[in-house]
Homo-oligomer: A and B are copies of this chain.
């Protein structure tokens, strides 16, 4: 495949892009990285020994891969640990419920919280209920999440995870259980962040699998009181510390300018964090390596593995704070944190003057089956949210997330859920992106 030279790239550079693409599509580097992380480290919830092991793993891997600089930067976060969780329908039909505590949940008494369940179909319905609607009861929100390639069902569903326990307590509830934020038809409960509100009684906050939510719904529909028992042992432990792990291939012409790609190194504790976000870690580490396989880049290529994303973007916030002075040197940023599905779309969020370069990049992604959306309104991954006030050039390499929420934040998020071929396509797309943003004549700038 021969390409005519553009304003931004020589013919030789474009030929190198093609070579990198081919190399990436045949490379098992990302697979070996995510296999190693999920096997040799496994779960790595912020503040746990697994988190510490993951930081050591990342530092060692970056060094072994020959990055020019490897360093860590601390990030603090409110530490929380899960010890045990279980639940059961006590009456009218005794049986187990598959449940998980949401992050930040308080414990129940050892014997559990036992009460009648009252069902609502959404957080809004609960909010609109009278003040004592749930007095002495366990509130159950049975909101069903939609499946979508772009994950747009997540936003509406996650409200009940974030705020459910607060609203339930305001209505007099003694406990809170929700249908998982999930598209799965398997019996896994999905954990995830939740919060309490000052002045509102803290009640245990949990999620059950879709199958268990259906079961509870059917029993409640029989019009006999449904009593359940929820047992959670968990603990908030004050401030914890973890580390962003950062590595760079240094640019030859503009070393201070850099492409920033990455994922988050932490995971929830239930699975091994393969899709969330071992894949993103591996894709971006491998892509950086492949992007420099033809020689030093003009600008630096930096991989940032963010800490404590799951507890509230704590690593990203710390990164922005610690690197405020150099954020203006970011020429392009993209985070991979949506599993390991094929990348189907590409878009930017940059100053209009540099859109021709974006088009050049998009053109080289076509053969990877990536569509250029050309809306120029990309938002980037979750860890790029704290960067927003700084108007850095942001890119979105959109993965197909149709089945992401089948596994997200469950025990079922394990290595076997990653398709090695799709993983390689991701690496190729990120490598093309990193190479071109780092080596273009034009420097990308934000809006």
Contact = CB atoms under 8 A, between A and B. Distances in A.
A243 B186 CA distance: 32
Nearest to A413: B187
Contacts of A414: 187, 211, 214-215
Interface stretch (A33-41, A68-76, A317-325, A356-364): A33-41
Given A93-B40, A215-B39, A187 B222 contact: no
A239 interface: no
Most B CB contacts (10 A, CB to CB) among A89, A414, A415 go to A414
Nearest to A84: B86
Interface in A211-247: 211, 214-215, 218-219, 222
Contacts of A185: 416-417
Interface string A257-294: 00000000000000110000000000000000000000
Contacts of A43: 95-96
Contact of A95 (B35, B42, B218, B417): B42
A98 to B, nearest CB: 7
Contacts of A218: 35, 39
A156 interface: no
A187 B94 contact: no
A104 interface: no
A390 B412 CA distance: 47
**Protomer copies:** 2
A186 B89 CA distance: 24
A66 interface: no
Contact of A187 (B95, B219, B411): B411
A222 B36 CA distance: 10
Contacts of A95: 42-43, 50, 272
A272 B215 contact: yes
Interface in A1-60: 35, 39-43, 49-50, 53
A416 B40 contact: no
Given A412-B186, A416-B185, A417-B185, A42 B214 contact: no
Most B CB contacts (10 A, CB to CB) among A49, A186, A218 go to A186
Contacts of A215: 39, 42, 272, 414-415
29 contacts: A35-B218, A39-B215, A39-B218, A39-B219, A40-B92, A40-B93, A40-B219, A40-B222, A42-B89, A42-B93, A42-B94, A42-B95, A42-B215, A43-B96, A95-B272, A98-B411, A185-B416, A186-B186, A186-B188, A187-B271, A187-B411, A187-B412, A187-B414, A211-B412, A211-B415, A214-B414, A214-B416, A215-B272, A215-B414
Closest 10 CB pairs of A and B: A42-B95, A211-B414, A187-B412, A39-B218, A40-B93, A186-B186, A187-B411, A42-B93, A211-B416, A185-B416
Given A39-B219, A187-B271, A187-B412, 12 more contacts: A39-B218, A42-B215, A50-B95, A185-B416, A186-B412, A187-B188, A187-B411, A211-B414, A214-B415, A215-B272, A215-B414, A215-B415
Interface of A: 35, 39-43, 49-50, 53, 89, 92-96, 98, 185-188, 210-211, 214-215, 218-219, 222, 271-272, 411-412, 414-417
